[in-house]
Chains A and B, each alone.
Chain A
Amino acid sequence: MKVVVGQGSCGIASGAAKTSAAFERLIAERGAGVPVEKTGCIGNCYLEPIVDIRSDDGTLITRYVNVQPDMAAEIVERHIIGGSVVEEYAITAPDEGFLGSQERIVLRNAGIIDPESIDAYLAAGGYKAAEKALGAMTPEDVIAEVKLSGLRGRGGAGFPTWFKWNAARENVSDEKYMVCNADEGDPGAFMDRSVLEGDPHSVLEGMAIGGFVVGARTGVIYVRAEYPLAIHRLSLAIEQARARGYLGENLFGSGFGFDIHIKAGAGAFVCGEETALIASLEGERGMPRLKPPFPAQKGYWKQPTNINNVETFANIPWIISNGGAAFAAIGTEKSCGTKVFALAGKIRKGGLVEIPMGIPLREIIYGVGGGIKNGKAFKAVQMGGPSGGCIPAELIDTPVDYESITKTGAIVGSGGMIVMDETTCMVDMARYFLDFTRNESCGKCNYCRVGTKRMLEILERITAGEGREGDIELLEELAVKIKDGSMCGLGQTAPNPVLTTLRYFRHEFEDHILRKKCTAHSCKALVVYSVTDDCKACGLCRRNCPADAITGAPRVKHEIDREKCVKCGMCETVCKFGAIARD
């Protein structure tokens, strides 16, 4: 028997490290002699910290959820020593369904094996695919297999992986590079982080196979500096792989040598764009350049370079081991395999989900995710981050594949799926994304640099209750010009969040502009605050109001003077009884 505690960043943020320490201490005190191990993200982030009791061979016996350190004593006493399950802390059947409806290829090991142990990865069949590819296949065989699998780049663009590999392979050079883009910049996406934290070797193995195919001896992982745990586990994995001969010279006796090093990014969304990423790798400002030449022709240090996303690489070993046809059998005709999504926002069961391509959004949001938090109404789901768009409730039966999602105006993107309910203002969402892209624009193209700024100003005006007639048309005009006038994907897609919200939620824009109403009661300038009967007359709001707009006395219900109110929301922030209402 062993105790396994999920310790991805989400788990640790929920207190998993403290829970793990409590188990170690208690087990030692009781002399139970049971090892306490760690694993990566299990996926059900909303149940963290998660503690698994597993048999020595790793088979799951019982899963305990939301385990705080003070619950450890009971589990150790009753289960580990006493041998009977502590039912009240164990996962419930509906929560087990969260994992049950998924199909795990990329996340095959995440949440099961110890990500800091190469032995655990090897025991799960790790590096067998690299051995097969390097030992028994030619690069052409591997490309054919990847082509057969139908794997498309998981970073967002959905470009066929085999095609990129083939292009990099055909460009002859002594020096080539295999780059892993782990600069997960989409706000609201954490798929890559979870893969790197939960199963780093799968990415290294995918890169080694890719390096073999294109003829690159050097691999570089460009990873966000905001992901310290991912960097730590990757570094550890690289050291272990080198020590065991899975990285280095003459891999599997093939004569092919491959090594990987890590470059920590410094925070710039535009570096998700390939040419900007390369500039950043070279120590420069991460600004895109015109293509061609494509990175496959002239990339890192002007040498042929292939760049794939973390999730793409993590798929490769599975495809080599199980065959391209097995991968292509999953999903739809044009969108093969599975896709990992980061489900968050106003969802009951947020977390990491991996589903076959082509299943409807409804299945993910209501089936896997358990529907909307706090009994609110589902309004929209945002996919594709700042390059994507909001898909409205009426399109909830849209299948999740590249083509169908693109038709809605959003994109599959890297996998962020942010669920919004009736309290989310869509104009504010458009403003939020424009604020993001305006901030992240590198400034090279005028339309992107100035145009996003102008769009943001208009959206800020609208959400501040100062929208004017003609603003919507102006937004649409700017959107088209920014798309046409920008060189890279950032600018070309920056208007998408505005365009999709205008397409499906135009009435909300009109409400803001013409009626000065935010129906979601979200835009503070348009909200009218009042005190409800829950008021306990504590005076906290009155004392904190910067405009002296609140009157009241001890034991006298407080009131807000609407003329004086500056709508700062301070009363609502400080009220301990939830007695401030918005209209």
Chain B
Amino acid sequence: MNAAPTGSIRPGFAELEPVVARYRDIRGSLITILQKTQEIYGWISEDAIDFIASGTGIPPARIYGVATFYTQFRLKPAGKYMLMLCKGTACHVNSSDEIRAVISSYLGIADGETSPDGLFTLNTVSCLGCCSLAPVMMIQNPDGEETFGSLTRERVQSILGDIIEKERGGAAQ
């Protein structure tokens, strides 16, 4: 953490600058900085990694190493709605694979992919801890997150259908 930030800020990272400034001298803060970066931009770009590197003095390779180690970090842009489908043990024995197949066919995206309209990203996650309501999915969007339990084919389709309708309705106004 010895290299001082250069005078010129890379364009587009104005929101990240105070984060780096706040944490650059607190040791062990790299994961926190990456979490804040993802909170701001929705993902972590190569340019963001370079920006953090120049601000903190941590080599970009090390930042990349940390970012790729943890499942939370996304190195590709995500859709507006992040579908986090639980693949924990309880969900697995309660056929979460079939729910994934329904989502995939409904939206035309596989695990880890984003729909062409940029609305949805499907991610399977290790466990959301709502095992008694398996199968479970958490949907994150800029307004917060909502968890849906006891999923069935119909329920998933109606949840996704509602979102699509809401988004289209919103666009029409």
Q: Are chains A and B native binding partners rather than an unrelated pairing?
A: yes
Residues on A lying within 8 angstroms of B by beta carbon are 9-10, 12-14, 45-46, 48, 184-190, 193, 225-228, 263-269, 280-286, 301, 342-346, 350-351, 382, 385, 416, 418, 420, 424, 429, 432-433, 436, 440, 442, 569-570, 573-574
Whether B158 is near chain A, meaning CB under 8 Å from some CB there, is no
Given A267-B70, A283-B30, A283-B31, are A9 and B89 neighbors across the interface (CB < 8 Å)? no
Decide if B13 is an interface residue (CB 8 Å cutoff): no
A569 touches B28 (CB 8 A): no
Q: How far is the CB of A578 from chain B (nearest CB, A)?
A: 11
Interface residues of B in 77-94 (CB under 8 A from A): 87-90, 92-94
Within 8 A of A (CB), among B23-38: 27-32, 34-35
Cβ contact within 8 Å between A346 and B93: yes
Q: Please give the distance in Å from A464's CB to the nearest CB on chain B.
A: 14
- Shortest CB distance A571–B (Å): 12
Interface segment, B4-12, B110-118, B120-128, B161-169? B120-128
A9 touches B71 (CB 8 A): no
Taking Cβ atoms with an 8 Å cutoff, the residues of B that contact A are 27-32, 34-35, 65-66, 69-73, 87-90, 92-94, 98, 101-102, 105, 125-134, 136, 138, 145, 147-149, 153
Question: Is the Cβ of B130 less than 8 Å from the Cβ of A13?
Answer: yes
A283 to chain B, nearest CB (A): 4
Q: A266-B71, A282-B27, A283-B66 are in contact. Are A9 and B130 (CB under 8 A)?
A: yes
Inter-chain contacts of B90 with A (CB < 8 A): 187-188, 344-345, 350, 418
Contact residue among A225, A227, A285, A345 (Cβ-Cβ distance under 8 Å from B35): A225
Given known contacts A10-B132, A283-B30, A569-B98, A418 and B70 CB-to-CB distance under 8 angstroms: no
Q: What's the least CB distance linking B60 to chain A, in Å?
A: 15
Flag if B133 contacts A189 (CB, 8 Å): no
Q: Can you list 26 A-B contacts (CB < 8 A)?
A: A9-B128, A10-B149, A13-B136, A13-B149, A14-B149, A189-B127, A190-B132, A226-B125, A226-B129, A264-B32, A265-B70, A266-B71, A267-B125, A281-B28, A282-B27, A283-B31, A285-B69, A286-B70, A343-B132, A344-B89, A344-B132, A345-B134, A350-B132, A382-B89, A569-B98, A573-B98
B93 x A350 contact (CB < 8 A): no
> Which of A190, A267, A420, A442 makes the CB contact (< 8 A) with B130?
A190
Chain A's closest residue to B67 (CB) is A266
- Which chain B positions have C-beta within 8 A of A285? 65-66, 69
Contact B27 A227 (CB under 8 A): no
- Chain A residues lying within 8 Å of B101, measured Cβ to Cβ, are 569-570, 573
Q: How far is the CA of A346 from the CA of B32 in the complex (A)?
A: 38
Bound Cα distance from A9 to B88, whole angstroms:
16
**A185 touching B126, Cβ below 8 Å:** yes
Given A187-B89, A345-B94 in contact, is the A226-B132 Cβ separation under 8 Å?
no
The minimal Cβ–Cβ distance linking A374 to chain B, given in whole angstroms, is 11
Across-interface contacts of A185 in B (CB, < 8 A): 126-127
Closest to B26 in A: A283
Which residues from B are CB-within-8-Å of A264? Answer: 31-32, 35
CB–CB A188/B71 < 8 A? no
B149 to chain A, nearest CB (A): 4
Whole-angstrom distance between the alpha carbons of A14 and B89 in the complex? 20
Determine if B92 and A432 form an interchain contact, defined as CB atoms under 8 angstroms apart. Answer: yes
Contacts of B136 in A (CB 8 A): 13
Binding site secondary structure of chain A: mixed
Q: Which residue of B lies closest to A184 (CB)?
A: B129
Q: Which residue of A lies closest to B34 (CB)?
A: A266
Q: What are the residues of chain A within 8 A of B93 when measuring CB–CB?
A: 345-346, 418, 420, 424, 429
Q: How far is the CB of A520 from chain B (nearest CB, A)?
A: 11
CB neighbours (8 Å) of A286 from chain B are: 69-70
B35 contacts across to A, CB distance below 8 A: 225, 264, 266
Q: Are B31 and A14 closer than 8 Å at their CB atoms?
A: no
> Is the Cβ of A284 less than 8 Å from the Cβ of B34?
no
Query: With the chains together, A569 CA to B131 CA distance in Å?
Result: 25
**Cα–Cα, bound, A221→B80 (Å):** 30
The answer to whether B89 and A432 have CB atoms under 8 Å apart is: yes
Min C-beta distance of A302 to chain B, whole Å: 12
Assess A13 versus B148: contact at CB under 8 Å? Given A226-B129, A350-B132: yes
The distance in angstroms between the C-alpha atoms of A25 and B111, with both chains bound, is 40
Further 7 A-B residue pairs, CB within 8 A, beyond A227-B129, A283-B30: A9-B130, A45-B132, A267-B72, A342-B131, A344-B131, A418-B89, A573-B102
A9 and B148 alpha carbons, distance in the complex (Å): 10
User: If A188-B90, A385-B89 touch, does A283 touch B129 (CB 8 Å cutoff)?
Assistant: no
CA distance A190 to B72 in the complex (A): 19
The residue that A187 contacts in the complex, of B32, B127, B138, B149, with Cβ under 8 A, is B127
CA–CA, A283 to B72, complex, Å? 14
Complex Cα–Cα for A98 and B125 (A): 30
Which chain B positions have C-beta within 8 A of A574?
153
Contact A266-B72, Cβ < 8 Å, known A9-B130, A344-B134: yes
Which of chain B's residues have a CB closer than 8 A to the CB of A284?
30, 66
Option from B72, B98, B102, B129 in Cβ contact (under 8 Å) with A193: B129
B27 with A266: CB separation less than 8 A: no
A388 to B96, CA, bound (A): 21
A45 to B130, CA, bound (A): 9
| Across the A-B interface, the 4 shortest Cβ-Cβ residue pairs | A45-B132, A188-B89, A266-B70, A350-B132
Structural contact, B128 and A226, CB atoms closer than 8 A: yes
Residues of A within 8 A of B128 (CB): 9, 226
**Contact of A573 (CB < 8 Å), options: B66, B69, B153:** B153
Q: Are A268 and B71 in contact (CB under 8 A)?
A: yes
Query: A13's closest neighbor in chain B, by CB?
Result: B147
Chain A: CB-nearest residue to B30: A283
A227 to B126 alpha-carbon distance, docked (Å): 12
